Amino acid sequence: MPVGRKILLVDPDLCTGCEMCESICSFAHDGKFNPMNARITRVRIEPITNVAIGCQTCQDAACIAACPQKALSKKEPESYLIVNSDKCDGCGFCIRVCPFGAITLHTETHKAISCDLCTGTEYSQPQCVEMCPKEAIRVAFLEEVAEDKRIIAVKKLMTELGKVL
C-alpha cells in the first residue's frame, strides 16, 4: 500500500454539484450543516461541470511560509494542513497565496480552515468520501494519481494509434 501525501480526488464526470460534501464536512467538524464552513469546496465550471476541491498537500506549501503567526504546519506523512487555531489570527495571508483556493476563514471563529481528511473529528474516514451519493470523491495517494494519469495517457495514445492504423 502506498504511503505519503494524500489528497481528495474528485471525478468531475461523477460529481453532480449536490453540495453534500460541503454540508457533511461542516457537520463533521462543527456539528452544524453550514457549507460556508466546509473544508472542501464545490466549484462549478460553466456550463455543466462540477468538482470539489480541498487541500492539495503542496510539497513547498506557500500557505505555511506566508503565515506570520506560524499557525500552519503539515501532518506527516500524509502532508495535510494543520491549522493551530490558538495561533491563527485570521489575517488571510494563507488564503491569498494558496494556488487552489483550498483555505477559507471559518464564518464564526474567523480562523483559517482547510481539509484535514477529517482528522480531529470522531470519524475514521473523510466524511465527504463516505457520504457522496455518487461516490465521486476518494482519498488518493499522489503516487496513485500519477498512475491514473499514465493509464489515461496510454489509453489515449492507443486510441490515436488505432485511428492511424
Tens-digit pLDDT profile for residues 32-85: 999 999 999 988 877 767 788 889 989 899 999 999 999 999 988 777 899 999
Would you give the DSSP letter of residue 108? T
Q: Cell 503567526 appears where?
A: 69
> What amino acid occupies position 38?
A
Q: What is the CATH number of the domain that holds 69?
A: 3.30.70.20
1, part of any domain: no
C-alpha to C-alpha distances, 63 to 47, 92, 103, 140, nearest whole angstrom: 31, 10, 9, 22
Q: Look at residue 1 and tell me whether its pLDDT is greater than 60.
A: no
Answer whether residue 89 is part of any domain.
yes
Q: Do residues 44 and 85 lie in contact, with contact meaning Cβ atoms separated by under 8 Å?
A: no
pLDDT at 4: 74
Number of domains observed in the structure of the chain: 1
Residue 19 · residue 133 · CB < 8 Å: no
pLDDT at position 79: 79
Decide if 103 is inside a domain: yes
Give the domain extent around 46. 6-164
| pLDDT tens digits, 4-16 | 788 898 888 889 8
Q: What pLDDT, on the 0 to 100 scale, is given for residue 164?
A: 61
The number of beta carbons lying within 10 Å of the beta carbon of residue 146 is 11
Given the DSSP bridges, would you call strands 72-75 and 80-83 parallel, antiparallel or unpaired? antiparallel
Q: What is the pLDDT of residues 113-165, one digit of tens each?
A: 999 999 878 998 999 999 999 999 999 888 787 787 788 888 888 888 876 65
| Residue at 79 is within a domain | yes
- Longest alpha-carbon distance in the chain: 64
Check residue 71 and give its pLDDT.
98
